[in-house]
Chain A
Amino acid sequence: DAGVIQSPRHEVTEMGQEVTLRCKPISGHNSLFWYRQTMMRGLELLIYFNNNVPIDDSGMPEDRFSAKMPNASFSTLKIQPSEPRDSAVYFCASRTGRTNYGYTFGSGTRLTVV
């Protein structure tokens, strides 16, 4: 099992550019989560999907952020246009469809917007 796979590991982009982060969940996991980690705010839930359907996107900070899950094995988080305050580590996590069970996190994407 390769675990949750995120790409790229690092991304440096200029303010105003579009950024796309990618995630491949563990096969068979029905739930997928996107988190953002910063020193100031810790781990913040951005959005999550059950069976490829977005369930709660109340954590998405602005309309500049969007997420999709076109199939069970792939999800993207897009920021357009990016701003320096979006700089953070973005994590994807997946879990079986059963509630009250732990996640498996990916290694994260460190995003720097200059």
Chain B
Amino acid sequence: GENVEQHPSTLSVQEGDSAVIKCTYSDSASNYFPWYKQELGKGPQLIIDIRSNVGEKKDQRIAVTLNKTAKHFSLHITETQPEDSAVYFCAVPANQAGTALIFGKGTTLSVSS
């Protein structure tokens, strides 16, 4: 089955710096790559996703890039703010049917002002 690894597990940046989180996956047939943000006491929330027919997608200060050859995708946050502090998860479809997602172990991002 599919496997996903996420790095780093923790990331500390100064306000205004950029943050990058990377995930690698094993199934070359995977074609959907979402990122979720989880704040304390809440459920994960979808913040951005990308499909395999594009290499990059941006939404204001966040972007996701995809390298299908190398089987990895990354979340980029620019001009970080304290409210970006949270746990971020990547996910990939568990199988080619694409119904269920499996999640990386998460990255705890801390933005200090």
Q: Which A residues are closer than 8 A to B by beta carbons?
A: 4, 31, 33, 42-43, 45, 48, 50, 55-56, 91, 93, 99-108
Contacts and interface: CB of A to CB of B under 8 A. Distances in A.
Interface string B86-107: 0001000110011111111110
Given A43-B44, A106-B43, A99 B93 contact: yes
B100 A100 contact: no
Contacts of A103: 46, 101
Contact of A104 (B32, B46, B94, B102): B46
10 contacts: A56-B99, A56-B100, A99-B93, A99-B99, A100-B93, A100-B98, A103-B46, A103-B101, A105-B45, A107-B43
Interface of B: 31-32, 34, 36, 41-46, 49, 51, 89, 93-94, 97-106
Contacts of B42: 107-108
Contacts of B94: 45
